[in-house]
Structure 1
Amino acid sequence: MYILIELIGIFFFAVAGSLMAARRGFDLLGSAFLGGVCGLGGGVVRDLILNQSPATFAHPIYFIPPVLAALCVYAFTPSVQKLHRLVQLFDAAGLGLFCVTGTLKALENDFNPVTAVLLGVITSVGGGLMRDVISNVTPDLFNPRDIYALAAMVGAALTAVVWHLGIMNVAVGAGIAGLAFAIRVASIRFGWSVPLAAGHWHRPNPTPPASDGPQRHF
């Protein structure tokens, strides 16, 4: 069941990566590569932090979702104007699933709750970060106009709490993933954002408008 959930998460992320490839005008191989980076990148980073051989290379089945995603995008890609919103939607779905599976894997390897939550966040945002860097666009992780990592943090924290309460099961995990997905989508829909790194009192004053009168040069 764990592998099945992870494969679904990889597929959602891979679709987001392949949609980004279509948006940037990549070819089919580039689409499969970017989908693979997006779908598998976070899990590889997670396994390396856990000092394990990445599951991606131990089980070739993990490469199937990125290939399927590239073929689906090739066959059913809508107009380019709709691609950005679809990238965000599939990315949110993958983020919701991976913040749960990443946290669970850390907890199963006897990591403390705080570290497990951080690892869950890394798992869920790592692939998207790599995708955006390769595509030469501003990563959603650093976009001040919506929330990204915060949705993953909420899902990962709830996963850790539920795990320690001993009530984790497939339905509860799916509910947490759905909540993280809903937070991410709502942030896009309603423009929620995290405060900027510098408070408004630290920001420079806007440049006053130029005068219409004659300019003097000294």
Structure 2
Amino acid sequence: MGVEYLAIFCCGLVGGLAAVRKQYDLFVILVIAWLTALGGGILRDVLLEVPPVGITDRWSVLTALVSGIAIAIIHPEINKLKWSMLMLDALALGLFAVNGTAKAMYLGTSGMTAAFLGMATALGGGLTRDILLNDVPMIIRDKHWYAVPSAVGCVLTVFVCKGRMSGLLNAEQEIALDLVIIMLIVGMRMASVVYNIKFPGAVERHNVYLPGEGRYLRRPDITPKPHDEASGRGGRRARWDEDDDS
């Protein structure tokens, strides 16, 4: 529980700092800190049809609000701790992914459902924060591994929970494996940032093939259009090179 409260506090700091950078007032900072820290858990619990921890657990709520007050005071120092905050955010990502998946599994969901709910727990708070602050969500904006480590951790947690429920693992072994999964998530996240590891984008293509019609279109040829001094018109035009009319 101490590690979980630490994760809530760190997530609240990250969320509150985003609101501070937007120069919002203290009330907005507190709301954003609370939603960042507990929004994912609220989403998970609503989908599980259980009382949301984010509004029923007083210590979780107080921890999130304290983080908002703290960031409103010490934001200049926190803003300078880039790598420390990145590490704490990665730790919170791992903890929420494992915790959310395990809670869903023990409430009787399927493994696939539990994995999705675990990702909702890990990513939902940051997604809600970015939407409210009118920012591109971190899971899209950050080209390094962010959602992928949480997905890997959620899937592994499903297998650990199944092993525990089938009697193959005892409580101590389950806790040990959960900690290993959290460290794996943190390691994947940090390695992707440190070594600039990214997933490739769309395959670069230079030709457009039209199957069954015996022709293809090459990529647009952007050529300068001569400038007409009399009319003042000119610029660039695009021309498709083709093997036949199309």
Bucket of the pairwise TM-score, normalised by the shorter protein? 0.7 to 0.9
Secondary structure at 2:39 match in 1: helix
Provide the residue aligned with 2:213 in structure 1: none
The 1:118–1:206 alpha-carbon spacing in structure 2 relative to 1, beyond 3 Å, is: farther
SS in 1 for 2:143: coil
- Note closer, same or farther for the CA distance 1:81–1:14 as it changes in structure 2 (3 Å cut): closer
Q: More displaced, 187-196 or 147-156?
A: 187-196
Contact 1:144–1:193 at 8 Å: present in 2 too?
A: no
Normalised by the length of structure 1, the TM-score is 0.84
SS state of the match for residue 158, structure 2?
helix
CA deviation string 1:25-47 (max 9, x = no partner): 22222211111010111000000
> Is residue 227 of structure 2 the alignment partner of residue 215 of structure 1?
yes
| CA RMSD, Structure 1 to Structure 2 (Å) | 2.9
Match of 2:105 in 1: 107
C-alpha distance in structure 1 between counterparts of 2:25 and 2:44, whole Å: 29
- Kept in 2, the 8 Å contact 1:42–1:124? The answer is yes
Which protein is richer in strand relative to its size? 2
Looking at CA atoms only, which structure, 1 or 2, has the larger radius of gyration? 2
The answer to whether 1:178 aligns with 2:183 is yes
Which residue pairs with 2:239 in the alignment? Answer: none
Gaps of 5+ in 1: none
**Partners in 2 of 1:54 and 1:42 — Cα distance?**
10
Q: Secondary structure at the match of 1:146?
A: coil
Give 1:86 deviation, angstroms: 6.1
- For 1:200, the equivalent position in structure 2 comes to 204
**What is the match of residue 121 of structure 2?**
123
1:14 corresponds in structure 2 to 12
Q: CA deviation at 1:54?
A: 0.9
Percent identity between the two aligned chains: 30
- Looking at secondary structure, tell me which structure has more helix per residue: 1
Structure 2: any 5+ residue segments left out of the alignment?
209-218, 235-246
Q: CA deviation at 1:83?
A: 7.1
Change in CA separation of 1:103 and 1:81 when aligned onto 2, cut-off 3 Å: closer
Which structure is higher in RCO with an 8 Å CA cutoff and minimum separation 6?
1
Residue in structure 2 matched with residue 68 of structure 1 by the alignment: 66
1:23 aligns with 2:21: yes
Distance 1:201 1:214 in 2: 29
SS at match of 1:193: coil
Amino acid at match of 1:170: I
Within 2, Cα distance between the matches of 1:183 and 1:164?
Answer: 24
Query: 2:227 is matched by which residue type in structure 1?
Result: Q
In structure 1, the partner of 2:174 is 169
